[in-house]
Structure 1
Amino acid sequence: MEQKPLERKDQNSASPTRSLPAHYGRNALGEWLRMLTVAAVTLSLYVWRGGETLLFLLTACGVLMIGGLLLKLLGPRQVTVTRSLSRVSLAAGDTLTVDVQVSFRSSIPLPWMVIADHWSQGQHQELLFPGFRRSLTYSYPLEEVQRGVHRLHGSIVSWGDMLGLFTGGCQSGCGDSFKVRPRPLYIGGAALYSSMKAGDVALSRSTRNFSAEAGEIREYAPGDPLSRIHWKNSARKGTLQSRVPEREEGRMSCIVLANTPGEYQIPYGALTPRGQRSAAPDAFEQAVSAAMGLLLAAEQTGSYVQLFSGGWPEGMARHEGLGQIPSRVQDMLTEIAPDGGRSLSTLLEDASKGWIPGMTVAVITGRLEEESARSLARFLVQGVKVELYYVWDQPAPGPAGGTEKNSWSPASTVGASLTRLGANVYCLRDSCPSNGYKGVGNHGFQEKSTLW
């Protein structure tokens, strides 16, 4: 994290270096007005009635005002707050420790100091007792940080005399920030690679060699680049032969992540009791974690992977490649939000332009809709392997297009119908961040399809 020097608050300055909250000036003026009022009343009573008690109170007021004046003139200067993080790579749900070092200059001992850090998803206040020390260190935890970019909205340092009658303060800028990436959720076959470290590619493009085996060579097709032509095999057979692209070798997968608000609205009847809503994980966070897990699993197996999601130029993948997942892709999943403008069915149409039979398509959404389910059924008929990850299922439409709510059962849902058509269906509600995001089980059904 960046090191930000804090700037001294000058209450009597007409144009401070950095604009400060208006209540600081009002508080300083109010402090002196209160003490002057108390001193003036005590002095009037002493002149009128005399007495040792009033003299003592008048002397105490004078001592307190002298201490406030010394705090103003000789108090802390050049206050610097330096923060450092205990961890560089963070995943959602981790606990982060922030180490803070405070240094300043002061000609008088300082009774107390309060440092308040206001982060985007929480705040922390620390009470220190500097005394004659001019440098102090402390640390505090940020527990179970959520996915996203966390920024320091403000840091305010306050100090004062022993009784807190006179105070001062300064504030820092808001440049400190850190990123928390989604915690990978390994699902199905991807759970086999959950013990591997991100970045350890099991099979990379540089280690593959294209031999002249029949399984890796096919007849030349118009549009194949010259770099793919296998000249030795072509000369032997008398016709042009092309090396099979990696995506045609069955190592290509496509991940489609729905991110429209409607896809993650809780369906009627799926609301949990009020006392249990805080414990239930957010549906979109589960979806993003599933996408991260699938990407890292493709990285470990050396698969050619695509990633489609809303908020990107129409028909273009947010990521497409082989090998290690770029940092920009993980940063994109860190900042993505359910604010896309294209429905899941539209995303499927855009992504399917490059699909071929035999490849695997992973579709991640919150709730199963009939329109997108019909598109997936069409792809299954075309020979595309479909893996569907959802949070809430929906009743399958009846023969007349309606739903049989009275006879609803787990075997008469959209997910069950897709399963009977050959799709692998996984329910994300079976996973929970508190359980370490273990692999999600497959939901299979054996009854006859009721959707189509």
Structure 2
Amino acid sequence: MAWQWLRMLAVTAVLAALYVWRGGASLLFLLTASGLLMLGGFLLQACGPRSVKIVRSISPARPAAGDHVNVEVQVSFTTWLPIPWMIITDYWSGGWHQELLFPGFRRSFHYVYKLHEMPRGIHQLHGCRMSWGDLPGLFTGGCCPEGKAGFKVLPRPLYIGGTLPESILMPGDTLSLKRGRNGGEAADIRDYAPGDPLSRIHWKNSARKGSLQSRVPEREEGRMTCIVLANSPENYEVPYSALTPRSQRGTAAPAFERAVSTAMGLMLSAERSGAYVQLFSGGWPEGMARHEGLGKLPGRVQDMLTEITPNGTRSLSRLLEDASKGWIPGMTVAVITGRLEEEAARTLARFLVQGVRVELYYVWDQPAPATSDMLRNPAVLSGPAVEYKQHTAGTIGSSLARLGAKMYCLHPVPPDGHKEAELHEFPGRPTLG
């Protein structure tokens, strides 16, 4: 504002000096016009808009990652002067928006603007700047209206094939046997799984069928599923073999975003099917689930998946050990991570042998120990990229698949969020020692 007045006073002083020296109607007109402009600028800055009130509303109320968010703004103020133009700037986390208005004698406005492809997380309005000025723009005024606004962008759920995951539905997995009228409650029976205690074996039904049968525990009967989401930074470091050219980086969703989208899809699938579900992730007391229950998913769980970041301090192997304290044979465990690593794979192999169903959602596979030493050979590393593909039969993922794990390789999440996980199956014997 000081610069505007110094500039205009200098121009007026020059015109006044020329008029005193030379005189003339033209210089008198210019001198009069500059005086009127300064008078208008003074009134605009001294008596400009007051009692500014800005109200914003966000739609949709709970958008998903990648959605467009509409911001509806209602502006009102008081002044007795006509305002030639006005600019309102909203500063959001990660971006800003400017709106040019021509109020004139109007004192309230309504407009809508759009924030495009918002990422997952909490977005807050960090500030607002309102500026106005005269017609030539020589004098301007402004203020910073107070106001708070914010919204949460939920992770976009990733569903397997656009339907409920197989780990949730498990059709035909249990056999319900009804006792007689006086037999009491119904008992659910399934095939014996390694690790089932002898106290749960149904000997009578085993003799009738010719194979061991086990009673289903209450929580397993409710189709219990445990989701383990790795959020340690080491789990999402891009392997050297998976690096892409610098020009192609940033086009796909980050690996951690794909992992969170997968967790959201599994949680919503459990909600729709009525399955008993647990959610474990880092940054929580050891041995305690971030969520445990069935039915409608609480809002706090969606908020947690909205705010979670890859800053965990526990490795995936340690996280699995903490989560496994409540596991029972026959239940399903969905493990979501970025890269497969040997220590966690050995832990999962032990659970597979104990009869726990494992579904592994990953982004990058790595060579199993038997082939990793060979790949460290300089002669191999100096060869073409196809060398890595020649040894994929000996990867960590293939070893877990041969032990019975279901492997899903995650791909970038598209706008519709469907069918972006590829089921991988590997024949042969496991290579994990």
TM-score in terms of structure 1 length: 0.80
1:351 alignment counterpart: 323
Match of 1:449 among 426, 430, 433: 430
Structure 1, unpaired ranges of 5+: 1-27, 195-208, 218-242
C-alpha distance in structure 2 between counterparts of 1:404 and 1:278, whole Å: 28
1:420 aligned partner: 402
Whether the 8 Å CA contact 1:98–1:140 is kept in 2: the answer is: yes
Which of 398, 402, 415 is equivalent to 2:370? 398
Give distance in 2, aligned partners of 1:173 and 1:106: 18
- Indicate the residue corresponding to 1:126 in structure 2: 99
Structure 2 counterpart SS, 1:133 = coil
- Please report how far the alpha carbon of residue 250 of structure 1 lies from its aligned counterpart in structure 2 after TM superposition: 6.0
In structure 1, the partner of 2:77 is 104
Cα gap change, 1:404 to 1:250, in 2 (>3 Å): farther
Task: Tell me how far apart the structure 2 counterparts of residues 174 and 107 of structure 1 sit (CA, whole Å).
Answer: 24
Amino acid corresponding to residue 393 of structure 2 in structure 1: A
Which residue number in structure 1 is paired with residue 268 of structure 2? 296
1:46 aligns to 2:28 (yes or no) = no
Structure 2 residues without counterparts, runs of 5 or longer: 166-177, 191-214, 381-386
| Cα displacement string for residues 12-67 of structure 1 (whole angstroms, at most 9, x for unaligned residues) | xxxxxxxxxxxxxxxx1111121112112221222122222322221111010011
8 Å contact from structure 1 (residues 250, 359) kept in 2 = no
* Count of residues in Structure 1 that have an aligned counterpart in Structure 2: 382
What's 1:437 paired with? Answer: 418
- SS of the residue corresponding to residue 40 of structure 1 reads helix
> What is the match of residue 192 of structure 1?
163
Q: 1:323-370 CA distances to partner (integer Å, 9 max, x unpaired)?
A: 111110100000000111111111001001111110100000010011
Say which SS state the counterpart of residue 331 (structure 1) adopts.
helix
Match of 2:393, SS? coil
Question: 2:252: which partner in 1?
Answer: 280
Query: Are 2:375 and 1:371 aligned?
Result: no
Question: Which residue of 71, 77, 84 maps to 2:50?
Answer: 77
Alpha carbons 1:246, 1:304 under 8 Å: kept: no
Q: Is the 8 A contact 2:89 2:130 kept in 1?
A: yes
* Equivalent residues of 2:50, 2:78 under 8 A apart: yes
**Residue 411 in structure 1 maps to residue 407 in structure 2:** no
Instruction: Measure, in 1, the Cα distance between the counterparts of 2:322 and 2:126.
Output: 39
Aligned counterpart for 2:352 among listed residues 380, 393, 403:
380
**Which of 104, 112, 134 is the equivalent residue of 1:139?**
112
* Matched residue SS, 1:303: coil
Query: C-alpha distance in 1, partners of 2:74/2:120?
Result: 26
Kept in 1, the 8 Å contact 2:52–2:145? The answer is no
Q: 1:250-279: per-residue Cα shift (whole Å, max 9, x none)?
A: 611111001011111111021112222121
Supply the distance in 1 between the matched residues of 2:89 and 2:420 (Cα, whole angstroms).
40
The offset of 1:421, in angstroms, is: 0.8
Please give the alpha-carbon distance, in whole angstroms, between the structure 2 residues aligned to 1:160 and 1:395: 66
Deviation at 1:175, TM superposition (A): 2.0
Residue matched to 1:163: 136
Identity percentage of aligned residues: 64
Partner-residue secondary structure (3-state), 1:349 = helix
After TM superposition, what 4+ stretches of structure 1 lie above 6 angstroms from structure 2? none
Q: Secondary structure at the match of 1:117?
A: strand
C-alpha contact 2:397 2:407 (8 A) present in aligned 1: yes
TM value normalised by structure 2? 0.84
Deviating more after overlay: 402-411 vs 110-119: 402-411
Q: Deviations over 1:116-148 (max 9, x none)?
A: 001002111011111111111111111111111
Query: How many Å apart are 1:101 and its aligned residue?
Result: 1.4
